[in-house]
Amino acid sequence: MTDPRPLSGLGVLVTRPAAQAERLCALIEAAGGRAIRFPTVEIRPASESEWLRWRLAEPWDLLVFVSRNAVEHAQPLFPGAQLPPEPRLAAVGRATAEALTAAGRPADLVPRGRFDSEALLALPELSDVRGRRVLILRGDGGRALLGETLAARGAEVVYAEVYRRVLPRLPVAGLLERWREEIAVATATSDEVLQNLLKLIGAAGQARLLATPLVVVSERTKVLAQDLGFARVGVAERADDEAILAACCDAISSGVGPV
């Protein structure tokens, strides 16, 4: 029989931006765990909104939204604060697709299985984009893979960086004092989230953090985590909250609790 409370009092460090963390936290708590909120990235609007309004009003063949943040920060910048009716809409992941539906237009293209840029690019609809005008809506300094690949396939690609990610100020002393008793597993949903986690924890807590089992959502982030010195890294099957929870439960059930 499946244990309905597989985390049974164990703490999971949730490092997503605060506005995106609540569903995962609720799933952790429903599984008997304690969600310890420690957002390592703060999301803020882009500074050049007038330029973005002008760019978003242009005619496009395809709009690619890389995250839920991209949808939420782009929508107010479109004419009439509405998603345009003509271009096709692509979403990198399920949460992004849900945000598009909530904004008034379901996504036309969403990858199946893993939710990442590679899976989106594998869709047959994007195999030949010669002559298409593609706008990629993202945060500042996102991955170049989508744009470079679509450009190589013949598209005219433009980026619209509609939000900024900044390193927040967070108190860490109390967390470090209680670390061994409270943190059974940590999570990191992107390279930047992981790198910021190390910065915020600092030298004083680095050994405790690196010895803690870590759950990530891509092989790319797993490689980075191992390079940074994490001893035990698990990869969720997908980037959604249910898969992250399952990976955390796997880390616990395999006996890799806090050191």
**Phi and psi at residue 257, to the nearest 5°:** -80, -170
What is the CATH code of the structural domain delimited by 11-41+170-253? 3.40.50.10090
Q: Residue 17: which of 245, 188, 242, 210 has the closest Cα?
A: 188
Q: Calculate the CA 160 to chain-centre distance.
A: 18
Q: Tokens 């199946």 map to which residue? A: 112
pLDDT digits (tens, 9 = 90+) for 34-77: 999 999 999 999 988 899 999 999 999 999 999 999 999 999 99
Do 11-41+170-253 and 43-166 share a fold? yes
Which pLDDT does position 253 carry in this prediction? Answer: 78
Angstrom distance (rounded) from CA 240 to CA 217:
9
Q: Which residues contact 146 (CB under 8 A, 6 or more apart)?
A: 64, 66, 92, 117, 120, 121, 136
Per-residue model confidence as pLDDT tens for the chain (259 residues)? 456 678 988 999 999 998 889 999 999 999 999 999 999 999 999 988 899 999 999 999 999 999 999 999 999 999 999 999 999 999 998 889 999 999 999 999 999 877 788 889 999 999 999 999 999 999 988 778 999 999 999 999 999 999 999 999 999 999 999 999 999 999 999 999 999 999 999 999 999 999 999 999 999 999 999 999 999 999 999 888 999 999 999 988 775 444 3
Q: Tokens 């345009």 map to which residue? A: 84
Q: How many CB atoms sit inside 10 A of residue 118's CB?
A: 15
Determine the angle formed by the axes of helices 18-30 and 241-253, rounding to 10 degrees.
Answer: 50
pTM of the model: 0.84
Which pLDDT does position 255 carry in this prediction? Answer: 52
For domain 43-166, the CATH architecture is 3-Layer(aba) Sandwich (3.40)
Which pLDDT does position 2 carry in this prediction? Answer: 56
Domain ranges in the chain? 11-41+170-253, 43-166
Q: Are 130 and 155 in contact (CB under 8 A)?
A: yes
Rg, Å, the chain Cα set: 19
Which pLDDT does position 3 carry in this prediction? Answer: 62
